[in-house]
């Protein structure tokens, strides 16, 4: 491998309670966790191919534990490609605790950019690591479920799994 080439990216698709999930990883970490229909799929390089990788094994195991209710926090090396602003938003998403939600305005405040609510929403929507980087925990300021790359039924399922459905939805 030349010093300018990147490690190859290995992929696999796994079954989950929310449908098939596409995973991609390399020695740099986890690049993607995508739903079968994903609004903003990660660009695939020529070096992406189906195969085995330890990070894929760990991601599959930890996602299984999450869906079984025994994992509340993922411990995986992350290698999401994005702008510095997007990565700042995605990092903030990882700080929203399991079982909790935050509004887009609260997320903007978390990164010290309280007036950047729309930009935060756009970065949230481009999160390439669904579930692992919990963009599903971001809801509207009024407590309603707002757009989600995996669809609102999936968002509702994930929040219910975590016991984090907004009060008015949980009572419906």
**Could you report the per-residue pLDDT of 46-97, keeping only the tens digit for each?**
889 899 999 999 999 999 999 999 999 999 999 999 999 999 999 999 999 9
**Banded model confidence at residue 150, pLDDT cuts 50, 70, 90:** confident
Do residues 85 and 92 touch, judged by C-beta distance below 8 A? no
The pLDDT tens digits for 108-129 are 999 999 999 999 999 999 999 9
The confidence score (pLDDT) of residue 5 equals 55
The rounded percent of the chain whose pLDDT value lies above 70 is 92
Pull the structure tokens for residue 164: 């984090």
Whether 49 is catalytic: no
The confidence score (pLDDT) of residue 56 equals 97
Name which residue leads in pLDDT, 20 or 47. Answer: 20
State yes or no: pLDDT of 3 exceeds 60.
no
The confidence score (pLDDT) of residue 6 equals 60
In the set 18, 92, 116, 135, the catalytic residue is 135
The confidence score (pLDDT) of residue 4 equals 46
Separation of alpha carbons 4 and 12, rounded Å: 25
Kindly compute the dihedral angle of the four CA atoms of residues 147, 148, 154, 155, in this order, to the nearest 10 degrees: -70
Name which residue leads in pLDDT, 165 or 107. Answer: 107
State yes or no: pLDDT of 134 exceeds 70.
yes
Closest among 64, 84, 83 to 74, alpha carbons compared: 64
The confidence score (pLDDT) of residue 172 equals 41
């Amino acid at each position: 491998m030349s010093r300018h080439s990147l490690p190859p990216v290995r992929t696999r698709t796994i079954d989950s309670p929310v449908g098939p999930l596409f995973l991609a990883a390399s020695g740099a970490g986890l690049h993607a966790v995508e739903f079968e229909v994903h609004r903003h799929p990660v660009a695939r390089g020529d070096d992406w191919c189906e195969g085995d990788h330890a990070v894929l094994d760990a991601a599959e195991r930890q996602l299984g534990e999450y869906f079984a209710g025994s994992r509340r926090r993922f411990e995986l090396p992350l290698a999401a490609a994005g702008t510095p602003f997007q990565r700042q938003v995605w990092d903030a998403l990882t700080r929203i605790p399991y079982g909790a939600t935050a509004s887009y305005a609260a997320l903007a405040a978390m990164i010290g950019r309280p007036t950047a609510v729309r930009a935060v929403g756009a970065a949230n929507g481009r999160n390439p690591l669904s579930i692992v980087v919990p963009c599903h925990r971001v809801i509207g300021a009024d407590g309603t479920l707002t757009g989600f790359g995996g669809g609102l039924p999936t968002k509702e399922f994930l929040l219910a799994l975590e016991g984090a459905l907004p009060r008015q939805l949980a009572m419906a």
